Structure 1
Amino acid sequence: MAMVVKNNIPAKNTLNQADKNDKALAKSLKKLSSGMKINSAADDASGFSISEKMRVQVRGLEQDIDNAQTGVSMMKVAEGGLQSTIDILSTLKEKVINAANDTNTDADRATIQKELNQAVDQLDDNANVQYNGKTMLDGSRNNYVKNPGTYTSLANESLYEGTNGSDRITSLRDFAGRSLGISSDSTIEFSYVLQGETYTTTLAVGSNILTNMFSRSVDDKGVRPSQSIIKMEFTANVGKDRVGDTVTTVNGNKALVFSAGQPGLDGQISGLTINVINKDGTINRTANAVLNNFTEAVQAENESPDNALVYQVGTKANQAVKIGFSDMRSVALGLKATNGDVLSIATQKKANAAISVLELAMEKALKLQTTIGAMESRMDFTVANLTTSSENTQATESVIRDADMAKEMTGYTKNNVLMQASQSMLAQANQSSSSVLSLLQ
């Protein structure tokens, strides 16, 4: 090797190696201090990109969990108001059953009416329950209801499946084909409630057919409603739902169906009772049990835009669940007319008709309670699923980005030793050039 002084190549090579060792040591220190093996895109461009996407995913999933949990809290507020409504309806049914008993005088019924009026007002307060300024049970958060609204439809599937509207009343049979025991000298009392007013008719059975049973309904003052209130059919198609689709009976067989003549709450039939009386004045309990077995196949609802609540529970657009709260005001439950008149129990017949009204109102409330409860249960599963997804995504991101501290400490120790060695050798390389001076003495 030539002995030179102008260019100290060994020292330069040693300095270059020392610089590499210094950078490696700095990286090791950065990884150990941050706990991550990828601290910037320069460390691993593709790994950094994948890791960042996963971090965004995790943050989105965590927000979804918060959304679902606050959604459940919101539904619990609505459920609380609805449970109060159900409790009130239970109490009111007890009261009207009492009012229907003739041990009470009309004066007693007037006293019970005062309790009824106050309880009905409380139903409206319950319907106005709010969460974060949003009123939930007053119908303002309902699903879409197609114009002009839905028509009340009450269906009775307890009659023999071969029954037709042209059958004589005396030939009516139950679902098992057994006669209801209605004779030509029996009479039938029929009543329903519309706009808080009870309409009734009494029919001598004679040779009348089924479709002629309920054609002359009037109120207790002999006043007939101004519009075509109700129609009766024996059919498997019980009406149309809120989006206009045909609703059929549960088993697909024909049923005795009563439908409102007008859509929405203005035409709502809020109670319907049939009482078959034998010629000796006794009640035909067998016939009444069958003929009064109605369920509400289609609930009366006013036309409405889609105001259902949307809970965002996914990291992509429209990954959401929706729930609409139907109208739980006293008007929608059939206990009050749109003009403010409260359901009357002033007489025994009106109190008896009110029992059916309370049954249908309870059916509406329990239906919504089931909807809310089912959604709460679903949201619990949603939270569990989101929590698992967040955990697994974070675990994957950890594999890509987090540093193995034991491995990085080993690398740090190696780089530290190499750095110290290169510093020592740099000193030796600088010293070797000075030996040339001995030749110049």
Structure 2
Amino acid sequence: MKINFNASAVIATNQMTKNDNRLQQSLERLSSGLKIVHAKDNPSGLAMAKRMNAQIEGVTQATQNAGDGISVVEIADGALAEVHEMLQRINELAVKASTESLTSGDREMIEVEVKQLKEEITRISRDTEFNGQRILDGSFDLKGYTDNENVKVTYYSDTLKSGKYHMDLDVTFKADGTVDTADYVNGTGPYIPADAKVSQIDGNIVTIKGSQNFELKLRVSEDAVTAGGNRVSVDMEITGFGSMDMQIGANEGQQLDIIIPEVSLENMGIKHIDLSTKEDSDDALRRMGGAVHFVSSVRGRLGAYQNRLEHTINTLDITNENMTGAYSRIMDADMAEEMTEYTTLQVLAQASTSMLAQANERPSQVLQLLQ
């Protein structure tokens, strides 16, 4: 028996320290509910879990973004529903004014109502907002630029591929500066169909249409023509940019572009309609079909966006659910299993404490040999 160095006590102390450390770790897991409390617990698992957590939070925010996108679409569609109603009323008045049984006084009253309806359509286009941003004034329409300050791109269909275009038109003007006649001569660029032609003139807006939904609207002023002729030559850059980009995913590039054209009287082709005569009423009636079609196409696009966003939200919810489950399997502690471990460690800690007391007591037995 030895009294200077008590090896049994050292062994018991080391084991008690190990048990105490394991007990402390178990307490951390039980109190936090996490399997990985510190990076040292599972370095690779922690790295995977944090990456997953970033994705989960990104998906959660993307779901909110998609919800905001639906709100934008619903506001725009609600406003356009009223525009549709007013166009139907103008169309009804155009039908009424197309008969010769009306007096000039009757036509004046019809014109007053049409004027008010047109002003209200303009106001709705200007004042409809979401979160302080106007959404029907062309702020989120595709942008196009020209090299001629007297020719402006007001609208083009999304079938028009981005790039540089050149176009020649023969244009004549009325005394008031509005376009009288316009003919498409030729054009070059990434996409101009062979059957492209001027389909409609309203004031200074010249609409060029072709197959496969090709449509381009240009605002042409009188100063655009070359000296001594009627030719208008313009170089255009169709950017394909300008839409409302909704971030609907957790990663870069996961966006939905919402295109909302300018819902103006010019783009509808009815800015200069007049019901003061039967001939003008007949022309207005012809234009109303195009105006209704324009608004219907915009609403149809918005409806498609809303359906897509609703499916996007459903997909994001499923992604969030499954990724949360994967994150939980890495990070969350199994409380039942951990409580079993904790109970075991408690018994070991108590046993090692008792054994240390026994080991410390052994040297005192030497005194019996000295009696």
How would you bin the TM-score normalised by the shorter chain? Answer: 0.7 to 0.9
- Structure 2 partner of 1:214: none
**Over residues 10-40 of structure 1, what are the superposed CA-to-partner deviations in whole Å (9 max), with x where a residue is unaligned?**
1111011011111111111111121111111
Larger radius of gyration: 1
Letter in 2 for 1:229: T
> Displacement of 1:152 after TM fit?
9.7
Residue 253 of structure 2 is aligned to residue 318 of structure 1: yes
Alignment of 1:161-180 (within 5 A): none
TM-score (norm 2): 0.81
Equivalent residues of 1:268, 1:334 under 8 A apart: no
Aligned mate of 1:34, from 32, 56, 65 = 32
> Displacement of 1:231 after TM fit?
3.1
Determine which structure has the larger strand proportion and give its number: 2
Separation in 2, partners of 1:226, 1:308: 30
- Structure 1 partner of 2:323: 393
Separation in 2, partners of 1:125, 1:368: 18
- Structure 2 partner of 1:168: none
- Structure 1 partner of 2:159: none
Q: 1:43 to 1:9 in 2, by over 3 A?
A: same
Equivalent residues of 1:141, 1:325 under 8 A apart: yes
> Displacement of 1:145 after TM fit?
2.5
Aligned mate of 1:361, from 274, 291, 301 = 291
TM-score (norm 1): 0.68
Determine which structure has the larger helix proportion and give its number: 2
Letter in 1 for 2:285: I
- Structure 2 partner of 1:268: 206
> Displacement of 1:351 after TM fit?
0.7
**Over residues 375-417 of structure 1, what are the superposed CA-to-partner deviations in whole Å (9 max), with x where a residue is unaligned?**
1111111111111111111111111111112211111111111
Equivalent residues of 2:178, 2:203 under 8 A apart: no
> Displacement of 1:93 after TM fit?
0.5
Separation in 1, partners of 2:47, 2:41: 11
- Structure 1 partner of 2:102: 104
- Structure 2 partner of 1:191: none
- Structure 2 partner of 1:57: 55
- Structure 2 partner of 1:144: 143
> SS at 1:231's partner residue?
strand
Equivalent residues of 2:65, 2:247 under 8 A apart: yes
Separation in 2, partners of 1:324, 1:405: 51
Separation in 2, partners of 1:299, 1:49: 52
Aligned mate of 1:407, from 337, 341, 360 = 337
Alignment of 1:39-438 (within 5 A): 39-128=37-126, 129-147=128-146, 229-231=181-183, 245-247=191-193, 257-259=197-199, 266-268=204-206, 298-301=215-218, 306-336=241-271, 342-438=272-368
> Displacement of 1:228 after TM fit?
6.6
Q: 1:296 to 1:123 in 2, by over 3 A?
A: farther
Q: 1:35 to 1:13 in 2, by over 3 A?
A: same
Structure 2, unmatched stretches of 5+, are: 157-171, 220-235
> SS at 2:285's partner residue?
helix
Equivalent residues of 1:51, 1:400 under 8 A apart: yes
**% same residue:** 29
